[in-house]
Amino acid sequence: MAKTHSDPHVTDRLIGPFAQLVTLEGLPLKGSLSDKQLIVQQAAGIRVRGSEIIETGPFERLAKAARADKTEIAELPAGSVGIPGFVDAHTHSCFAGSRAKDYALRNSGSSYLEIAKAGGGIWDSVQQTRKASPEILEALLLKRIRRFLAAGITTLEVKSGYGLSVSEELKMLRVIRSASEKTDMDLVSTCLAAHTCPKDFQGNAQEYLQLLETELLPVLAAEGLTSRLDAFVEQSAFTPREILPYLRKGKAMGFHLTLHADQFTAGGSAVAISCGALSADHLEASGPSEIQALAKSEVIATALPGASLGLGCGFTPSRALLDAGACLAIASDYNPGSAPMGDLLTQAALLGTFEKLSNAEVLAGITFRAAAALALKDRGRLVAGHKADIAIFQTDHYNEILYHQGQLRPFQVVKNGRLYLSKNDSHDF
Ligand SMILES: [Zn+2]
């Protein structure tokens, strides 16, 4: 029987034994990491109170204490390796429709314009998402969330950005909030109303951004719908000159900023630095000067290998960013257009192969460094005081996890201190 505390909902639990527990404790936020820096506890356990880690240490010692005070023990099978639950800090998981036709056309050599003429491109996702009722959108999002949880992701950022009008952006953000009340997943929402200039505005970006400033941002603040603003800074979306007033206004209202930056042409990362954004995401087109500037700044550089794999483009210069001293997070960019895979572990493992990243760098990029990109300091390491979010793999060594390039899935996921995984949740799109 579980130990009873003054709050009847808070129970202590001991989880283990772990053949290896990779805690990621003590690693710095910025710069390169070697695998020798990883602290690996052998034959370890994690004592949890409610959703929080109280202690990690030798399982036998913790089990003895647990038996003495009748704490519940969630016993794991032999050969269990625990690492912090993953944080996917950049996704567009709230959408309707499929862009499989775009994918086929693009791979057959069609240009961006030809795909748009055939009814594809982002505007297709906007129309599908506008057409979908809040109930349908929420059901789609919740289905995807179950898949992410089963893959070991315990904190998920979700952007709006397929509404592109005040009312439709609000619809998306309210759907994300409603979904977050129905799942154990921690959802972090971001307003990406500045995804691209909507067709309704016939290329009049300033007018659209001004409308967002006056009609949308005050509602976001009043309803507490999100604390984060994102924008796509690119010649084909918003130029630095166009977007800066909007970002400054958002910052002045207290929003955290994050940007789609340097994906096809450089320029966005400088905007991110000048605005004090939390993160600059993409960076495939960042050159030596952008890399140096990011490394000197507090802006987190988020690589999105899913977009490189979806578009068949080069990867974010992750090795160079880490060597320069930047903080590198890795996220899936899951979206129906350019990154349809939505599999963070596979993508992070592949980025490691192509960019020559140590296991420590990859694991840091999808845990505590990604949490920092969301301004979350209470997760991403298995240490006292952090959330008890754990991805557990059936293997005898943590090296096996990235070695299998995403094919070794967690056999159990602990979310908020509770064993979560159900076998039906794995590959449901
Ligand atoms: Zn994105």
Q: Where residue 6 falls among pLDDT bands split at 50, 70, 90?
A: very low
Distance 237 CA to ligand 1 centre (A): 13
Judged against a pLDDT cut of 80, whether residue 152 lies above it is answered with yes
CA–centroid distance, 227 to ligand 1, in Å, is 17
Residue list, CB under 5 A from ion ligand 1: 333
> Is the pLDDT score of 425 beyond 80?
no
- pLDDT band of residue 4 (cuts 50, 70, 90) is very low
pLDDT digits (tens, 9 = 90+) for 9-42: 578 999 999 999 999 999 999 999 999 999 999 9
pLDDT digits (tens, 9 = 90+) for 342-383: 999 999 999 999 999 999 999 999 999 999 999 999 999 999
| 43 phi, psi to nearest 5 deg | 45, 55
∠ CA 205-251-155, rounded to 5°: 100
Helix axes 166-180, 134-150, angle to 10 degrees: 50
Q: What local confidence, expressed as pLDDT, does residue 9 receive?
A: 59
Give the Å distance between the CA of 174 and the centre of ligand 1. Answer: 20
In terms of C-beta distances under 8 Å and separation of at least 24 residues, what long-range contacts does 315-318 make, across chains too? 315/284, 315/351, 315/354, 315/355, 316/282, 316/283, 316/284, 316/286, 316/351, 316/355, 317/283, 317/284, 317/286, 317/291, 317/355, 318/351, 318/355, 318/357, 318/361, 318/365
pLDDT the model gives residue 422: 59
Phi, psi of 26 (to 5 degrees): 80, -5
Q: How far is the CA of 303 from the centre of ligand 1 (A)?
A: 10
Alpha carbon distance 424, 143 (integer Å): 11
- Rounded CA gap, 323 and 396, in Å? 31
Question: How far apart, in Å, do the first and last CA atoms of the chain sit?
Answer: 38
Instruction: Supply the DSSP string of 112-181, one letter for each residue.
Output: HHHHHHTT-SHHHHHHHHHHS-HHHHHHHHHHHHHHHHHTTEEEEEEE--S--SHHHHHHHHHHHHHHHT
* pTM confidence score: 0.96
Measure 309 CA to ligand 1 centroid, in angstroms: 13
206 CA distance to ligand 1 middle (Å): 22
Q: Is 80 exceeded by the pLDDT of residue 427?
A: no
Question: Residue 72's beta-bridge partner residues?
Answer: 13
Span from the CA of 70 to the centroid of ligand 1 (angstroms): 47
Going from the Cα of 91 to the center of ligand 1, the distance in angstroms, rounded, reads 6
pLDDT at 235: 87
Q: What are φ and ψ of residue 58, in 5° steps?
A: -55, 130
Residue 148 has pLDDT above 60, yes or no: yes
Is the preceding omega at residue 17 within 30 degrees of 0, hence cis? yes
Q: What pLDDT, on a 0 to 100 scale, did the predictor assign at position 429? A: 42
> Residue 56's beta-bridge partner residues?
46
Kindly report the number of other CB atoms within 10 A of residue 203's CB atom: 9
Tens digits of residue pLDDT in 45-82: 999 999 999 999 999 999 999 999 999 999 999 999 99
What distance in angstroms lies between residue 399's CA and the mean position of ligand 1's atoms?
29
Cα-to-centroid distance, 424 and ligand 1 (Å): 28
Distance 307 CA to ligand 1 centre (A): 8
pLDDT digits (tens, 9 = 90+) for 250-293: 999 999 999 999 999 999 999 999 999 999 999 999 999 999 99
